[in-house]
Structure 1
Amino acid sequence: MEMLKGMALLLLALSCFSAFSLKAPNGQKAMSGLANAAVATFLVEALHKFISGNMLGFAFLGNVGNIVGGLGGVASGSLVMLALGINPVFAIAAGLALSGMGILEGFIVGYALSFLVPVIEKYLPEGVDVIVGVLVLAPLGRFIAEAVSPVVTITLNQLGEMILNASNQSPILMGLLLGGLIKVICTSPLSSMALTAILGLTGLPMGIACVACFGGCFANGITFYRLKLGSKSKAISMMLEPLTQADIVTANPVPIFASSFTGGALAGLSAAYFKIVADAPGTASPIPGLLTPFAFNPATNVVLAMVFAMIGGIIGGYLISTIFVSIKAKKESVNMIQA
């Protein structure tokens, strides 16, 4: 029951973000800003705080990662407004007022204030609009963030705890389901880094997400190659960062998402079996997913988990691509007979 509740709530959260991205005004641009904020903050935190600092002993880099990791709200508020075409002065002023706030609060503030800025620019003289704008947007943004923060915190904490409890009670099954789902999100225009950062995933669920994103990338590469969805360079780019090939993904969603889920599920199974944990939210992407677990687990366990995750990704990609290669061959045969 815990597992069903956790997956149901995760799917609900994913559905909300998907609906926002597709239906809200400039939803995709705003989500792009959120994804960029996750990269700018949590990726730096994961690699420099946990790897360069805690693991390798570079105190300066560790301090940098620690500082940057606490600025998710600032980055999110500013980058969402910039993605929506807002004057950089307004975006930075509003973002700086969000120090100490979470990445989702920053996203809400950035999106909400993007509707107010055009009104200020329309009705105030040039020059005056900048002065009034920064003096109004900074406190207003902070007020909105503090108003929504309690609800956001309670909701996300409950969701994160439920997923963690489900993972602890049924690690193997959760590895399959969560691994597959996170890799699909990683491949879609939504950002798995942003989602895991928003949810604050830690422990085994975050470990599953990291390993799934790494192992599942091999499924994507094989699918691209065997279905001839692009050049070899595009297949490599898809493996390293799926968002770079969003146009191909949206044009071929069924085979790509099917291979992503299968490869990610098998990779997640590997993470669950080797009990890979990660306490760095927002690192669900192929490269960070490969490196981050080394900061929290014995190196031997991580290497074994990654090797089996890679094998799982390859198997998943080969199986799914074989199905679609066969379907494509049958269609071509039928077309030749009809011709």
Structure 2
Amino acid sequence: MSEQANKQELTGFRKYMKEQNIEFSFNRIFIQGLGGMAHGLFASLLIGTILGTIGQFTPGAVGTFLAEVSAYTKEIQGAAMAMAIAYAMKADPYVLYSLATVGLVANKLGAAGGPLAVYFVSLVAILAGKLVSKRTPIDLIITPTVTICVGVLVANLIAPPIGSFAVWLGTIIMWATNQQPFLMGILVSVIVGIILTLPISSAAICAGLGLVGLAGGAAVAGCCAQMVGFAVCSYRENKLNGLASIGLGTSMLLVPNLLKKPILWIPPTLTAAITGPIATCLFSLRMNGAPISSGMGTSGIVGPIGVVTGWLNPSEAAVKMGEVALTPGAMDWIGMILICFVLPAILSWVISEFMRKKGWIEFGDYKLV
């Protein structure tokens, strides 16, 4: 490329976009954006749901306080998601702060599909804010005004249809799982489990679709199969540190290993294909807690906690699906423990050991870098 072309590029549109930290890439939009959305949901609705559940069993003023906290987190979840997305996408301070209003409005207008509406509306508002950020002497006025006005306008235009579409798609998946629990148990478990390990937020996707009920149970099975499965498969290389960081943290830590050798994905994925239909057909495992829990697996034990929460106090999404609070029996507890912990560990270990003996997996393949 000539020197003249380089100068044009440095003074042109690309230079401006780089200076404003605007990047149209898969990593920025999907990995960072969806990851931020999941973090915002976790720090608001999900933690509030957990605290609210604890409050149900805590008498007196402490229980009342926890219930109050839980109610506040549900009200603020849209703002938390939007600000977390802005933070993950490296937005300037005034853009980030302005996303509180945008997220609140998008979540409200998106109704049951609010999380997905917040995601798309936030992307547009962040872009608008970044375009003008720090470009005028009155940045304190211009940047928040542009970010909020564009965000609220876009929310009014697209949040309702996005919310309706998300609800429709989630309803279709849940309906199909109820009609064909074996086949859909396999598909949902495998697909959501794979998404969990990829640098894309399965939690955000499950929340956006409002995935609860049997489909949510299949998603939990797949996510637990990936996390517990990879933790056990890699124990030879990573010992207790790896067992904890992968099994209780995230299986995304192994993405570099999987990119080098995709066959390493077989043990937990095949396990998910087995535990998914067992969850739906044998134990009727339902995730009726917060939908985000369907895509969390054993990360912080959020998936199992969500199952228990759904037994005691179904989320709004579950109530709309006609689910009611249940008194769990022995089989419910056995099923949850088997699907979330025991079967993923045993099946993944057996499959991986077979593959090691065949030479398909070698020592060091699962070593965390």
TMscore range, shorter length: 0.7 to 0.9
* Aligned 8 A contact 1:74 1:98 in 2: yes
Kindly tell me: are residues 98 and 221 of structure 1, through their superposed partners in 2, closer, same or farther at Cα, counting changes over 3 Å? Answer: closer
Count of aligned pairs: 308
1:259-270 equivalence runs, <5 A: 259-270=267-278
Residue 306, structure 1, aligned to residue 316, structure 2: no
Kindly tell me: are residues 331 and 29 of structure 1, through their superposed partners in 2, closer, same or farther at Cα, counting changes over 3 Å? Answer: closer
1-side partners of 2:248 and 2:156: how far apart?
37
2-side partners of 1:188 and 1:158: how far apart?
25
Deviations 1:154-190 (A, max 9, x none): 2111111111111111223322221222222222211
Aligned partner of 1:130 among 123, 132, 140: 140
Give the match for residue 294 of structure 1. 308
* Aligned 8 A contact 1:188 1:246 in 2: no
Give the match for residue 3 of structure 1. none
Matched position secondary structure for 2:103: coil
Residue 88, structure 1, aligned to residue 103, structure 2: no
2-side partners of 1:114 and 1:22: how far apart?
15
Letter in 2 for 1:72: Q
Higher relative contact order (CA 8 A, sep 6+): 1
Letter in 2 for 1:238: I
1-side partners of 2:335 and 2:224: how far apart?
10
Identical pairs, percent: 21
Give the match for residue 41 of structure 2. 38
* Aligned 8 A contact 2:176 2:184 in 1: yes
Instruction: Specify every segment of 5 or more residues in structure 2 that has no aligned partner in the other structure, as ranges.
Output: 1-22, 108-113, 312-327, 364-369
Letter in 1 for 2:93: P
Matched position secondary structure for 2:286: coil
Structure 1 position 104, deviation (Å):
2.0
Kindly tell me: are residues 203 and 109 of structure 1, through their superposed partners in 2, closer, same or farther at Cα, counting changes over 3 Å? Answer: same
Deviations 1:96-116 (A, max 9, x none): 233151222222233223333
Deviations 1:266-313 (A, max 9, x none): 332332121122222101221111112123331523321133223321
Give the match for residue 10 of structure 1. none
Deviations 1:73-130 (A, max 9, x none): 21222111112221223212222233151222222233223333333235302xx112
1-side partners of 2:56 and 2:87: how far apart?
33
Give the match for residue 207 of structure 1. 217
Give the match for residue 4 of structure 1. none
Instruction: Specify every segment of 5 or more residues in structure 1 that has no aligned partner in the other structure, as ranges.
Output: 1-19, 333-339
* Aligned 8 A contact 2:128 2:146 in 1: no
* Aligned 8 A contact 1:262 1:313 in 2: no
Matched position secondary structure for 2:200: coil
1-side partners of 2:116 and 2:128: how far apart?
19
1-side partners of 2:277 and 2:292: how far apart?
20
Aligned partner of 2:163 among 153, 170, 177: 153
* Aligned 8 A contact 2:28 2:89 in 1: no
1:1-339 equivalence runs, <5 A: 23=26, 27-49=30-52, 51-54=53-56, 58-100=63-105, 101=107, 102-125=114-137, 128-226=138-236, 228=237, 230-242=238-250, 245=253, 247-248=255-256, 250-251=258-259, 254-272=262-280, 273-279=282-288, 280-283=290-293, 284-285=295-296, 286=298, 287-297=301-311, 298-309=328-339, 310-328=341-359
Kindly tell me: are residues 163 and 231 of structure 1, through their superposed partners in 2, closer, same or farther at Cα, counting changes over 3 Å? Answer: same
* Aligned 8 A contact 1:73 1:106 in 2: yes
* Aligned 8 A contact 1:255 1:320 in 2: no
State TM-score, norm by structure 2: 0.74
State TM-score, norm by structure 1: 0.80
Matched position secondary structure for 1:75: helix
Structure 1 position 330, deviation (Å):
8.9
Matched position secondary structure for 1:40: helix
2-side partners of 1:21 and 1:202: how far apart?
32
Structure 1 position 34, deviation (Å):
2.0
* Aligned 8 A contact 1:294 1:302 in 2: no
Between 24-33 and 141-150, the greater mean CA deviation after superposition: 24-33
